[in-house]
Structure 1
Amino acid sequence: MKIAVFASGNGSNFEIFAKLFEKKEIPGDLALLFCDHPDAYVVERAQKHQVPVETFTVKESGGKKLYEEKIAKLLEEHEIDFIILAGYLRVIGPAILDNYEGHIVNLHPAYLPEYPGLHSIERAFEDHKKETGVTVHYIDSGLDSGPIIAQRKVPILKDDTLETLETRIHECEHELYPKTVRDILIELEKEIN
């Protein structure tokens, strides 16, 4: 099984996955990092782990449709079986989704269906909620609306700042996401074999 990770930024989740694939704690081969920001730090992380990197933007591709088609071709060339979104800040379009439905997972820093989209942690904090959470879900054509695979609640404490809440959300993500992806890939591997 060949796995691709899509990311747009720092790549802390990518780093965790790269180490787990290297140790064979998750089945499959981490065969590709795709990043839509050529200068993102995740590119450096991937190079450090000797994971092949492809990076290009919507603008340089000539628009969203051509960008998606270029990614779809890239996935085909690398014979990718499964996609992990790890801080990839773009909606997945039909050129990719049509070939990978049920084989693309995403991590969202909220207890969906609350706070889909961007700035989820900030919105929960500003709304003075008692809790928020983390959700792992499959991607569909909507915005953070695909079938939920796993969720965990994270309390918002009285003395929390946005930074302390973000730290606890990220700690939860770094535990829940790899475990959930590992379980999914173990099941997929059984189906293939």
Structure 2
Amino acid sequence: MPTPSSPLRIAVLVSGSGSNLQALIDGCASGLIPGQIVLVLSNNPEAFGIERAKRHQIPTEVVNHRLYANRAAFDQELTRLLEQYEAQLVCLAGFMRVLTAEFTQHFAGRLLNIHPALLPAFPGLHVQQQAIDAGVRFSGATVHFVVPEVDAGPIVVQAVVPVLADDTADSLAARILRQEHRIYPLAVRWFAQGRLSLTGKRVQLRDAQEEREAALIHPSGE
């Protein structure tokens, strides 16, 4: 864990555009996150997230998964680089590779992911269309610790959005993404502050503000 005089050293793994990476970069720049992104790592040489990092003078590395014989060898190279850069927290931000159990266990308790659904509902891919097809009234985003099982780790924070009658997968995804950009920096901030504790499947936030009678109702017929 970081000390008051030592900002949290964060590594971010991306495969695509890196909009959540940008939210974390902005969070560090504004002081919301008491940390520093020391590495942006991608499996995709064409990922725009690499360009985002370079614009902010953040070190980058590319580990092209196509050049490795298997997932274990690929993950071993990821681990080597993350240790080389002394990452204290690893954030998956649209990283489209399933990680081995060995990798997730090595970084247990310091590996976060963001998922565009209200886990444990709708893990995996194409989750916005899944939510629409299921007829749910709410969807949202989840930040969770990563475990070997996909999208099954302990939940840190969630944001909820309504599913509208005329929603498409794209329109719902856009509404959820705006909330992803809000809650991922918050989760990283809490980690950096040492406010998160993990017991089994449950994450506790020290000094959390909770509203016992809070409720959302959608749709409203009145």
> Normalised by the size of structure 1, how large is the TM-score?
0.92
- Specify which structure has the higher proportion of helix: 1
Q: For this pair of structures, how many residues does the alignment match?
A: 189
Structure 1 residues 73-95: Cα deviation after superposition (integer angstroms, max 9, x where no partner): 11111111111111111222234
The share of aligned pairs that are identical, in percent, is 35
Q: Distance in 1 between matches of 2:73 and 2:95?
A: 18
Verify the 8 A CA contact 2:63 2:77 in the aligned structure 1: no
Partner of 2:167: 160
Contiguous gaps of at least 5 residues in structure 2: 1-7, 197-222
1:99 to 91, 94, 106: 106
Partner of 1:88: 95
Partner of 2:116: 109
Is residue 35 of structure 2 the alignment partner of residue 28 of structure 1? yes
Structure 1 residues 44-82: Cα deviation after superposition (integer angstroms, max 9, x where no partner): 111111111111222212321110111111111111111
1:75 to 63, 66, 82: 82
Partner of 1:59: 66
SS in 2 for 1:76: helix
Q: Distance in 2 between matches of 1:130 and 1:84?
A: 29
Highest Rg: 1 or 2? Answer: 2
Q: CA deviation at 1:150?
A: 1.1
What RMSD, in angstroms, separates the aligned Cα atoms of the two structures? 1.6
The structure 1 segments of at least 4 consecutive aligned residues displaced by more than 3 Å after TM superposition are none
Verify the 8 A CA contact 2:9 2:89 in the aligned structure 1: yes
Q: Distance in 2 between matches of 1:135 and 1:188?
A: 18
SS in 2 for 1:157: coil
Q: CA deviation at 1:122?
A: 1.8
Contiguous gaps of at least 5 residues in structure 1: none
Q: CA deviation at 1:188?
A: 6.6
Range with greater deviation from structure 2 (101-110 or 180-189) = 180-189
